[in-house]
Amino acid sequence: MGSPTSQEDHAGEGPALVHLYDAGDRTPPHDLLARERQVISFEMPHTAATMLGAVSGLGIDQFDLMGTSSGATIALTAALAAPERVRALVLESPAATGPPAGDLELEGALSGLRVPVLVVIGTEAGPIAAETGRTLKQLLPNCQLLYVYDAGDAVAADRPEAFAEAVSDFLERHEQYVVSRRSSVLFP
């Protein structure tokens, strides 16, 4: 069973972001995400319960939660178990976990999850990744589906700046992140 890893390495100041990822995943852009938040990363394997317990042990009640690949499955499970603790959820290249076909109980649970969710898929990741993203978008009532151009399954490693910008904006503004704040003024 894993424990929080390299917490100090990635710690920034600000709201907590818990990241569940596989040790085999290519380096996630924690440095970029840690500019405005405290990043606490957990290498898989983990269960939702051990992760939630470990975060409580750090004295953190509410947090943003990000899961990569199979970590996304655990993140989703944790959000279902403790929705009041998860401010927002980011699922990067989620493993094809959506609920097994016909699992009406899980489908029902997902359709009741009000937590804002961002599903991030690379455009080069293939049709199964996109289909998983669509399945989640259709089941989750407050879900944004984001394609990162020219990224494969390792979205964050392939396009770190693009990934971190979208995730940071989403974690700050949730579904309101669709409204641009970029200025188009060239010269005052």
Partner 1 sequence: MKAALFSIVPYVGQAEHGTWPVPARIYSSEVAGRSMEMALEQYELADQLGFDWVTLAEHHFAPLSLTPNPMVMAGAVTQRVRRAKIALLGATIPILNPVRVAEEFAMLDTLTGGRVVAGMLRGTANEYVTYDVNPAESWGRFEEAMALIIRAWTEPLPFGWQGRHYRFRTVSIWPRPVQEPHPPIYMSASSPEAGEFAARHRVSIGFAFTTLPLASGAARHYRERAAACGWQPAPDDVLYRVTAHVADSDEQALEELRASGADTPRRGFSGSNRPLDDAVAGAGYYGRDAANQRGRIAAHTRPIAERIEQGALLAGSPDTVLGQARRIRDELGAGILEVVFSPVGRERTLRAIELFGTGVLPRLREL
Binding site for partner 1 (CB under 8 A): 123, 134, 137-138, 144-150, 159, 162-163, 165-166, 177-180
Helix intervals (H) in 17-154: 30-33, 48-57, 70-81, 104-111, 127-139
Helix (H, G, I), strand (E, B) or coil at 65: strand
What minimum distance in Å lies between the beta carbon of 12 and partner 1?
A: 22
Q: Are 153 and 129 in contact (CB under 8 A)?
A: yes
Which of 34, 142, 26, 136 has its CA nearest to residue 86?
142
Cβ closest to partner 1, residue 67 vs residue 122: 122
Cβ closest to partner 1, residue 31 vs residue 124: 124
What minimum distance in Å lies between the beta carbon of 128 and partner 1?
A: 15
What minimum distance in Å lies between the beta carbon of 31 and partner 1?
A: 19
Q: Are 17 and 156 in contact (CB under 8 A)?
A: no
* Lookup: tokens for 174: 């949730």
What minimum distance in Å lies between the beta carbon of 110 and partner 1?
A: 15
Cβ closest to partner 1, residue 16 vs residue 28: 28
